[in-house]
Chains A and B, each alone.
Chain A
């Protein structure tokens, strides 16, 4: 049962990761790319939690905490970059 749940969670996280990567590559504006990067980081945190359960090491959850912090910093910095850049550039 644990393996079935982990399969479902991993397949869903990889599906969300693939869709977000497609939006990250083909986003028409910079805001779409930043939102897609946010979804990519969230799916990666889910993958680390699944890895922690599959391997039995709770250490992987610390990786999830670090990924969440790095994703926050990346989103804020990219949003400030869009805000300060001259308008019109998509």
Chain B
């Protein structure tokens, strides 16, 4: 990592010092700020979606994908801004940002897939657990042949 960082740093700083001028640095500053602010707006929208959506799977859908994109946008935007500010730190920033984004892209799909699978299994089992005692008396009543549907509720029905 340090060798890569040093190589990237010297290469980028030499290139930026010789061939680039201050207007490009200003445009890097402004572009990095725009990308970072777009990313943070997306992260706030994802957090509001986490708070407002009605379903557990819908909340996972809102949180995982867009937060990954938002975090990548913020990190790339801050690295662009730092490159425009101080090109001698650009190598250290870009190598660490690349490692972070690679780790996110490897880890977050696995984590969200395991999470969605666990939530689906849990919701399915609890739904069956909740649905079975209500279905059972109706089936017994229909099998006994009779029993008016306007019968007063039993204790099990009242406790539902």
A residues lining the B interface (CB < 8 Å): 1-2, 5, 8-9, 12-13, 15-16, 19-20, 22-23, 28-32, 34-36, 38-39, 42-43, 45-46, 49-50, 52-53, 56, 58, 61-62, 64-65, 68-69, 71-72, 75-76, 79-80, 82-83, 87-88, 90
Q: Which of B44, B71, B92, B119 contacts A31 (CB 8 A)?
A: B119
For the complex of A and B, the 3 pairs showing the least CB-CB separation, nearest first, are A87-B125, A31-B119, A12-B40
Bound-state Cα–Cα, A36 to B51, Å? 9
What does DSSP make chain A's interface, helix, strand, loop or mixed? helix
Q: Cβ of A52: which chain B residues have Cβ within 8 Å of it?
A: 78, 93
Given contacts A20-B50, A23-B51, A38-B67, contact A49 B75 (CB under 8 A): yes
Q: Which of B37, B43, B117 contacts A5 (CB 8 A)?
A: B37
B residues lining the A interface (CB < 8 Å): 29-30, 33, 36-37, 40-41, 43-44, 46-48, 50-51, 56, 59-60, 63-64, 67-68, 70-71, 74-75, 78, 81-82, 85-86, 89, 92-93, 96-97, 99-100, 103-104, 107-108, 110-112, 114-119, 121-126, 129
Given contacts A45-B100, A68-B107, contact A80 B40 (CB under 8 A): no
A16 pairs with B43, CB closer than 8 A: yes
B78 pairs with A50, CB closer than 8 A: yes
Pair count A-B, CB < 8 A: 171
B60 pairs with A31, CB closer than 8 A: yes
